[in-house]
Structure 1
Amino acid sequence: MITEVNAVNFRQNLGEMLNQVQYRNDSIVINKDGKPVAALVDAELFARIRRMRERFDVLSNRIAEAYADVPVEDGLAEIDAAVAEERQKR
């Protein structure tokens, strides 16, 4: 479950919210001035997010290297064509 709280409420109830995250695997979104500024998630989920980000960075770098010599317009046209093809499949 995802709970949203303002920063003041979060600060006042930190211990309880840590328990929610640790024992119930909840996530907490902390808002400041009505806008989300941070999230509290359990350590296992954070580790998964970190691994996914590292993998994404590796793949992004491989794509960037593969297309380094391709003009931007050609690359964007190829992306647009691939998106259009996937949308037609649906």
Structure 2
Amino acid sequence: MINEVSAVTFRQNLGEMLNQVQYRHDAIVIKKDGKTVAALVDAPMFERIRRFKDRFDTLSQHIADSYAEVPQDEGLSEIDALVADVRHPAN
């Protein structure tokens, strides 16, 4: 379950919220002045997020390296054409 709390509530109930995350595997979204500023998740979830981020960064760098010699206008035109094909496939 994902719970949303204010920063003040989080600070006042830190121990209880740590237990929710650790034992019930809940996630807590912390808001300050109505804006999301942080999230508390259990350690296994954080490790999964970290691995996915590392994989995403590696893939993004590979794509950037592959297209480094392609002029920006040409690359953007290619992307626009592919998006158009997906949105409006030829029958």
Question: Which TM-score applies when normalising by structure 1?
Answer: 0.93
Q: Give the whole-Å Cα distance in 1 for the aligned partners of 2:87 and 2:27.
A: 33
> Is 1:32 equivalent to 2:32 in the alignment?
yes
1:68-87 correspondence runs (5 A): 68-87=68-87
Matching residue of 2:53: 53
Q: Give the whole-Å Cα distance in 2 for the aligned partners of 1:81 and 1:24.
A: 46
AA matched with 2:19: N
Structure 1 residue 86 displacement after superposition: 2.0
Q: Report SS of the residue matched to 1:3.
A: strand
Unaligned runs of 5+ in 1: none
Matching residue of 1:19: 19
Q: Give the whole-Å Cα distance in 2 for the aligned partners of 1:5 and 1:39.
A: 10
Unaligned runs of 5+ in 2: none
Matching residue of 1:3: 3
Per-residue CA deviations over 1:10-47 (Å, capped at 9, x if unaligned) read 00000110111111111000001110000000111100
AA matched with 1:69: E
AA matched with 2:38: A
AA matched with 1:50: R
Structure 1 residue ranges (4+ consecutive) displaced by more than 6 angstroms after TM superposition: none
Question: Which TM-score applies when normalising by structure 2?
Answer: 0.92
